[in-house]
Amino acid sequence: MIDKVRFTAMENGTQADYDLVFAHDARNVAKQADRVLGWLRQMEGESPYQISRLEHCLQTATRAENDGADDETIACALLHDIGDILAPTNHSAIAAALLAPYVSEQNHWIVLHHGLFQGYYWFEYDGQDPNARDRFKDHEFYDACVDFCARWDQVSFDPDYETQPLEHFEPLVRDLFARQPNSRNRYE
């Protein structure tokens, strides 16, 4: 049986109570990579695309790797759509929140905004402005996000593209979530 804190309101917690919470949280964080890999596996299966959502993520990461991207960027390419598992209509924000404590400000921004930037290719078919991304035209990471979408994301629906399997990228995921979390967006 797991030890429990004594409080019923956080304001009444003691150091001993919070030591229990911190230890539990540390064990939970240590399992993050396993959970993320499990979520990726859930993306396998039927899709209206010619490939599964998992294959899309793998293909995006493979393209990034083939272009010589660094490991963190490849991991972000792999995980950019992981939010589809929890919140398909808000997938970019979910993926960005998951990655925020572990990645650079630039990679976080790209993952956070990639959904809007991908709209350049399809918003017209949904009655939206394909140039909606241009409201960020002056942002320092605008061009990097355009490149991410153009070179890796929007082209990664090709059933004939030679794509690395998930096992190939598993060490990147484990290394990413083994990092000491940064404080950016950690408690927001």
Q: What is the CATH number of the domain that holds 57?
A: 1.10.3210.10
pLDDT tens for 76-90 read 999 999 999 989 889
- Any domain includes 184: no
- Mind giving me the DSSP string for 111-170? HHHHHHHHHHHHGGGGTS-TTGGGGGTTSTTHHHHHHIIIIIITT---TTS----HHHHH
In a domain, 3, yes or no: no
Give the domain range for residue 58. Answer: 11-178
- Determine the residue type at 3: D
Q: What is the pTM of this model?
A: 0.92
Is 4 part of any domain?
no
The answer to the question of residue 93 being in a domain is yes
Domains in the chain: how many in total? 1
pLDDT range class, residue 2, cuts 50, 70, 90: confident
Q: Is there a domain that residue 137 lies in?
A: yes
Task: Please report whether residue 63 resides in a domain.
Answer: yes
Model confidence at 32, in pLDDT bands (50, 70, 90)?
very high
- Residue 5 forms part of a structural domain: no
In this prediction, residue 188 carries a pLDDT of 56
Tell me how far apart the alpha carbons of residues 83 and 114 are, in angstroms, rounded to a whole number.
12
The answer for residues whose C-beta is within 8 angstroms of residue 137's C-beta and 6 or more apart is: none
Q: Which of 40-44, 110-114, 133-137, 179-183 has the lowest mean pLDDT?
A: 179-183
Answer for the pair 172, 37: CB distance below 8 angstroms, yes or no.
no
- Does residue 185 belong to any structural domain of this protein? no
Q: Report the mean per-residue pLDDT for the chain.
A: 95
Q: How far is CA 119 from CA 2, 54, 124, in A?
A: 47, 20, 8
Q: Does residue 186 surpass a pLDDT of 60?
A: no
Model confidence at 107, in pLDDT bands (50, 70, 90)? Answer: very high
134 or 27, which is more confident: 134
Query: CA 180 to CA 62: how far, in whole Å?
Result: 26
Please, are residues 94 and 78 in contact by the beta-carbon 8 Å criterion? no
